Amino acid sequence: MTTYSIGQLAERCGIATQAIRYYEQERLMPKPQRTESNYRRYPEEHVARLQFILQAKQWGFTLDEIRELLILQDANGDRAQAKRIAEEKLIKVREQIRHLSKIESVLSKTLSECSGEGPMQKGCPIIEAVVKNDVAAPRVACKPSILKA
């Protein structure tokens, strides 16, 4: 049976060894077997699990959502629960797409209005658009004391 050191696993999956240790700590990755000299040894199944974690992160799943999916997988859980998690993610992804689409539209319009010449004192449509918050999204709230210079 082929096993990998933490360095080999990290290299194979393109991540840092610290990330693997973090996923173990967060109980996304099972604890690996250890050699007599206490070195971690990862079987091939851990490669597949780590690749799943990394791909799920690319899809925008949070570590908590990934953990839920892995628990379902490990326990041969109900597909309905996995579907619910994916449906909730899809709703969030669609919201993000709508928001990014608005940002793209405002940026495109603002760039066409900006000559790119002259001092900032005369005003800048890019800065003004950000301040005006032309993109419908929740405003970032700051404490009044932070706003004072």
Specify the pTM.
Answer: 0.74
User: Strand locations in 11-78, DSSP E?
Assistant: 33-34, 40-43
The whole-number average pLDDT for the span 46-55 is 96
Q: Evaluate whether 70 touches 86 at the Cβ level (below 8 Å).
A: no
Q: What three-state secondary structure class fits 60?
A: coil
Token couple for 45? 């199944």
Q: What digits encode the pLDDT tens for the residues 76-135?
A: 989 999 999 999 999 999 999 999 999 999 899 889 888 888 888 878 888 888 888 767
The whole-number average pLDDT for the span 45-62 is 95
Give 86: exposed, middle or buried? Use CB within 10 Å, 0-12, 13-18, 19+: middle
Whether 145 shows a pLDDT value over 80: the answer reads no
Give me the chain's average pLDDT, please: 88
